[in-house]
Amino acid sequence: MSGQDITIKAHDGGEFMGYLSKPASGTGPGLVVIQEIFGVNKVMRDITDEFAARGYVALCPDLFWRQEPGIQITDQSEEEWARAFELFQGFDLDLGVKDLESTIEHLRGVEGCNGKIGAVGYCLGGRLAYLTTTRTTVDAAVSYYGVYLQEHLNETIQSPLMLHIAREDEFVQKEAQDQIINALKDNSRVTTHVYEGEGHAFVRVGGKHFSKQAATASQKRTLEFFAKNLE
């Protein structure tokens, strides 16, 4: 399965790229796949293709376009990590969420999309996936090891949300994890899974913390969640 780069119109008049991948059937729910800090690279394109193979009209937008369009770096060198953190530090969160709403609107109009839209994000994308449930029209979202979620606990979650939390996440301290878990434990819209012994980015194939066991378990939960809420 392979997708194509398309153009998405931003709310404020600009344009940015998105990688679109469709299922073999050509139809299904829409799914916005939200990047890590390395751009719309091979890892994100492979994830997008994988969701398409599972029956979703999947679209991964280039959210770094306002800083530098077309970022595709890896986690394999110090130079790339430095650039990734530079992009992360310069990222405008509010504009990023608005770009995600533009992506959602675009995806609803893509031929074959049934009108239901989910979002799934990783790392920075995990934070943004959380925010799609508080600030956009998304129908359901899944956050993988989202960073700084504790800063958004005062926002109202309006659609079903699943959180995958890595207990040994070096970018999210246990105190912050506990704060998030305790604040959301009684929210009927939120389902939280904690992965003991797992580090940040446990589903990134080729990454130093990749865990086949945790990746498989979380994928099963994610697919069941989306099947329930989008189909």
**Bridge partners of 39?**
72
In angstroms, the CA 133 to CA 142 distance is 9
What is the rounded distance in angstroms from the CA atom of residue 202 to the CA atom of residue 63? 22
Query: Exposed (0-12), middle (13-18) or buried (19+): which is 3, by Cβ within 10 Å?
Result: middle
Q: How many residues does the chain have?
A: 231
pLDDT for 172: 96
As a whole number, the mean pLDDT across the chain is 96
**Catalytic member of 75, 169, 178, 193:** 169
Using the predicted structure, report yes or no on whether residue 2 has a pLDDT greater than 90.
no
Mean pLDDT of 194-202: 96
pLDDT tens-digit map of 66-108: 999 999 999 889 999 999 999 999 999 999 999 999 999 999 9
* Burial of 101: CB neighbours in 10 Å, binned 0-12, 13-18, 19+: middle
pLDDT-derived band at 59 (thresholds 50, 70, 90) equals very high
Neighbours of 92 (CB within 10 A): 12
Q: Which of 49, 62, 99, 200 is catalytic?
A: 200
CATH class label, 4-230? alpha beta
In this structure, are residues 3 and 33 in contact, taking their beta carbons and an 8 Å threshold? no
pLDDT at 3 over 80: yes
Among 211, 181, 212, which residue's Cα sits nearest to residue 194? 181
pLDDT tens digits, 155-178: 999 999 999 999 999 999 999 999
As a whole number of angstroms, the distance between CA 123 and CA 146 comes to: 5
Q: Is 200 an annotated catalytic residue? A: yes
Annotation says 169 is catalytic: yes
Q: How confident is the model at residue 184 (pLDDT cuts 50, 70, 90)?
A: very high
What pLDDT, on the 0 to 100 scale, is given for residue 206?
Answer: 84
Contact 140, 226 (CB under 8 A): yes
CB–CB of 104/32 below 8 Å?
yes
Beta strands 190-195; 140-144: pairing state:
unpaired
Q: Quote the pLDDT of residue 1.
A: 55
Q: Report the side by side order of strands in the sheet with 4-9.
A: 4-9, 15-21, 57-61, 28-34, 113-122, 140-144, 161-166, 190-195
Measured from the Cβ of residue 93, the count of other Cβ atoms closer than 10 Å reads 14
What average pLDDT does the segment 184-192 reach? 97
Q: For 105-139, what is each residue's pLDDT tens digit?
A: 999 999 999 999 999 999 999 999 999 999 999 99
pLDDT in tens, 4-51: 999 999 999 999 999 999 999 999 999 999 999 999 999 999 999 999
Q: Is the pLDDT confidence value at 231 over 90? A: no
